[in-house]
Every structure is written in structure tokens, then in C-alpha cells.
Structure 1
Amino acid sequence: MNKPIFEFLVGNLLGDASIKRTVTGKAYITFEQSLKKSEYLNYLHELVKSNGIPLNKEYPTVYSRQDDRFGVTNKSLYFRTEALEELKPLADMFLDESGKKIVPKNISEVLTERGLAHWIMDDGQRVKRGGVTLCTDSFNSEEVSTLRNALNTNFNLVTTIHNKKSSSGSMYERIYVNKDSLELIKPTLSSHLHDSMLYKINLDRDFKQDTEGFISDSDIITDIDIFDI
């Protein structure tokens, strides 16, 4: 696996992508996004395919989930790779013995600007006042701390923890990347961001293309949503 492929897969695995082991000692990665982000999902599909990673189907598949809480059906697009021996090292990094996704302890050694861009495209939320929030909801406090250290060590990014309260009342941690420090690496990040994801780091809409159709209320964090500790 060449370096650019490895780098963007690391970023996506910190985000929405999932990785699983097989009983034959191989591993496969699944990519999934909501239908409103189909352009981005199709971009990932082409990126994986063009880099020679075999896929189990030629085209992404529409998947529907029934949300009984609100009586609606949510639709998403997904695709996955074939089970491959070359993906096993990533599975060993990102999965514990039970198969749960974790933050690799050596993440600072493998997280690059390309990987950070893919992480932001997957799990970043636009902050109107500047900066960006990384939705690390599925990681524990120790893992979030490890990620913050990597962001500071690798990119000199200044971060804080923002607590987010779920509808059930539980609290989880998200990483807010300081506006001023993010501005310094925006030029490099933008070269790795798909056009439809530029809004996440508050780049001008005329920078590449208008991305109005890809912004929803759930993708934007206002000052009211943020609780610093």
C-alpha cells in the first residue's frame, strides 16, 4: 500500500469509515455517508477504486434505516472494499481484540495533513465563528487526549474540549480546533478537500464551488452549542 492511500485511509478511519477483520486473517473497510453527501461518497469511491483497492461491488449501494424515534426512514450510500491482507495492518491499529474501533496509540506517527483533511471531511463540523469541531463522540477521554496531542505535535493546532449533551442526557467530548491555528494550515488542507467539503473549514464559497446544498443544521455549530471546559 503506497503512502497517500495509507494516509487517507487513516483519516477516514478516524471518521465514519469502519474496518473489520475476517476469520482468514484479512480485513475490509466500509465507507458510508448520508444521501445528501452523495457527491463526497462517490468521490471516496472513485479515490479508492483508482488507487487499485478492489471493491466488492462496482457502485455504491443505497441503505435505508428506520428511525423509530421520529418515525422516519434515513437513507445513506455505502460501499466496501474486498477483504484484503494488505488492510490487516490497519485493522491491527484501529481495532482492539474484541473488534471495537479505537484510536491507535501511535496515531501521531501516522496522521498527516492528507489524513487530517479526510478526518475533517468525515467528522468535521463547521463552526461559524471559525475553527472546526471534530466529532469524537465514539472515543473515550483518553483517546480524545491522544488525538489532541497528535494534532498539536503534528500540526501545531491549538485545541480545546467541548462537551456535547445527547438527547438521552449523556455527555461526550468533541475536539474544537482553534480558528487561528487552523488558518495556518488551511492552504494545505484545501488541496486535499473535496469541493463539497470546503465549507467545513469556512473557505470562501467561490474558492472552488458553491456548496450551499451540502450544509444542513446538523453540520453547523453555533456559539450556543459550545461548552468549554
Structure 2
Amino acid sequence: MLKKKSYYLNHLFSIVKEQGLPLTSDSITKYTRTDPRYNIKNSSLYFRTESLEEIKPLADLFLDDSGKKKVPLNIAEHLTPESLAYWIMDDGQQVKRGGVTLCTDSFNSEEVNILREALKTNFNVITTIHKKKGSNESIYERIYINKDSLDSIKPSLIPHMHDSMLYKINSNIEFKQDTSDFVSDSDAISDFDIFDL
């Protein structure tokens, strides 16, 4: 599964390059760090974009004055099949019995409800809340899209999803990747950063 994240990161890197967004480096960067909790080394891949004034309004839409993530009240206006596909690829968790969980740990109950309402309005999907206990004993709310609802929107999601991430929606399409320009740090990859705006 960790290898799949590498494929997806390479996919995102290609999109950013094709769109001409300025990057801080011409290649994906690898780094290794020691996790003091378990005294093990974790390797990561990441890339960063340079600050760009033209996309600042987009960042402002999703960040408050202190730089904390927020859900805009008009999120439904921005939620399309393509943006939902990327939301699932980035923050979705496969549920093997069907459906998908969206990790919304950074948001409060009101914001989670705004997201649920947008999903209902735009895609007519049925959602419930799954609660997750964090390491600091905090309780986080995650959105679960049930199997029937996910099955109903899969045809609109699949064209926008990278093959390596189709497992998140339990889609059994065989994944084959051209790795000629692929950057990998083997199966030791534990996480990655996508953008720094």
C-alpha cells in the first residue's frame, strides 16, 4: 500500500509540472528521519511549490487568518466529481465491506456537517459519522459514505482517479504503471507532503 502512495505522489508531481506551477525543486525530494517514539527510521517523499500570488485566493478560501484549515460555507459550489475523487485519493480510507471513510479530523462538528450537506446536495450520497479517538484522547469525526451511495457515484469518480488509488473505492481495476520516470524510496515510505502554499 505504501508503494501506491509513491505512484500517486509521482502522478501529482506530473500534474503540477504540466500545469506550469513553479516548484522549489525540479524533482521529488527524499528524506529520512528517526521516529523517537519507536526508534525507527522512516523515509518520505515530498515536493513543494513556490508561493504564487495567483493561487492565494484559493488558499484563503480554505485557511483562516491564523493559517488553520477551514471548510468554506460555500464548499458545495466547489465540490465536483473531480474534486471529490481527489479528496478520496488524498484523505479517503478504504472500507473493505464497502463504502469509504473521509478523514476529516482537522475539522469541528459544524464543518463536518457542512461537508456532509454538500455531499448530499451535490451527489445525493448518504453519510454517517464515525468517531475516532486520537493519541491525545481527543475524539475526531470522520465522514462515512455507505456502500450503496459509493457504488452510485463510482462511475463519475473513476475517470478522475489514478489507478493506484482505485482500491480506496474497492474498484478492482488492474493497476499497471510506467515507472520510467518514477521516484521511489522502496516500501519504506511512510508519508508525504503534497503542497506547501
TM-score band by shorter chain is 0.7 to 0.9
CA displacement 1:121-162 (0-9 Å, x = unmatched)? 011000011000001111111111111111111111110000
Question: RMSD across aligned C-alpha pairs, in angstroms?
Answer: 1.9
Select the residue among 108, 128, 150 that pairs with 2:76: 108
C-alpha change, 1:129 and 1:36, in structure 2 (3 Å) is closer
Aligned length: 177
Q: Is 2:170 the partner of 1:209?
A: no
How far apart are residue 92 of structure 1 and its match? 1.2
Instruction: Show the counterpart of 1:153.
Output: 121
Q: Is 2:134 the partner of 1:172?
A: no
Q: TM-score, normalised by structure 2?
A: 0.84
How far apart are residue 112 of structure 1 and its match? 0.8
How far apart are residue 35 of structure 1 and its match? 6.3
How far apart are residue 170 of structure 1 and its match? 2.0
Q: Distance in 1 between matches of 2:65 and 2:136?
A: 29
Tell me the SS of whatever aligns to 1:81. coil
Q: TM-score, normalised by structure 1?
A: 0.73
After TM superposition, the structure 1 = structure 2 runs for residues 36-185 of structure 1, keeping only pairs within 5 Å, are 37-185=5-153
Amino acid paired to 2:38: F
Tell me the SS of whatever aligns to 2:160. coil
Runs of 4 or more consecutive aligned structure 1 residues displaced over 4 Å after TM superposition: none
How far apart are residue 69 of structure 1 and its match? 1.5
How far apart are residue 36 of structure 1 and its match? 5.6
Amino acid paired to 1:163: K
Q: Distance in 1 between matches of 2:174 and 2:18?
A: 23
Which runs of 5 or more structure 2 residues have no equivalent in the other structure? 178-189, 191-197
Instruction: Show the counterpart of 2:185.
Output: none
Structure with higher RCO (Cα < 8 A, 6+ apart)? 2
User: Given that residues 35 and 77 in structure 1 are in contact (C-alpha distance below 8 angstroms), is that contact kept between their aligned partners in structure 2?
Assistant: no
Q: Distance in 2 between matches of 1:197 and 1:91?
A: 25
Q: Distance in 1 between matches of 2:104 and 2:43?
A: 23
Q: Distance in 1 between matches of 2:71 and 2:44?
A: 25
CA displacement 1:11-58 (0-9 Å, x = unmatched)? xxxxxxxxxxxxxxxxxxxxxxx6661110000000111122221211
Percent identical residues: 65
User: Given that residues 104 and 143 in structure 2 are in contact (C-alpha distance below 8 angstroms), is that contact kept between their aligned partners in structure 1?
Assistant: yes
C-alpha change, 1:145 and 1:54, in structure 2 (3 Å) is same
